[in-house]
Structure 1
Amino acid sequence: MRPRWRWSGGPRPQTVLIPPLVTQAQAGKTVRVVGRGLNRCVSCGSGRPLALLETPDGRSLAYSEGQESGRLIADPKQAAVLHRRYATLRAQALTPHDSVGLLERIRGEL
């Protein structure tokens, strides 16, 4: 049976990166691993680093970082789109406990 997951970057992520991720996650530290379906080349969160902000008066802002520059997104409609996209990613994410379990299962299959 083929695994339902695949690492990009060759064997290094599988053998070198998983054990520290498991250790950090078990210690209660934030570990972010982005997964996507095997038939997808790009996910909605893979474009560039993004910071979502909300001001004390309730305005939504976003800061998008590129290779040579960053961009503050203050337009309410554009910022709302990014906030909704991030909310979708969070809703689909595994719980911290389930994330550790997944990493441990993958490590055990290596």
Structure 2
Amino acid sequence: MVKKNEDLGNGNYWITLVAKDWQDGPELLLKPAPNLFEPSKVYQDALLEAGIPYTQFLVEDLAAEFDRLVTIGVSFTLKPSEMGNVKMAIFNDECGNQIQLVEELQ
């Protein structure tokens, strides 16, 4: 969930995200905006071209998280798949990044 969303002017925002059930936990800062910082855009484009996710998050139940995200309209480029000792899925964050979700298998 969004914790901070501050307009800094000139199309720049200070946006942080936290877990809904742990609002005083770690905050994820979304920056820099690739469209406003060319080196970041070059890096983002290279990751997309290589098929490498921008980042990944560990989840406890990939099937449940996949279903929840699909229900709210998230588009996946890789549906949940087993690969070795993990299950993983990849979605597009609509900002030009692919995000990987991983569940460790026991």
Task: Report the TM-score when normalising by structure 2.
Answer: 0.29
Relative contact order, higher structure (CA 8 A, sep 6+): 1
Greater fraction helix: 1
Greater fraction strand: 2
Which structure has the greater CA radius of gyration? 1
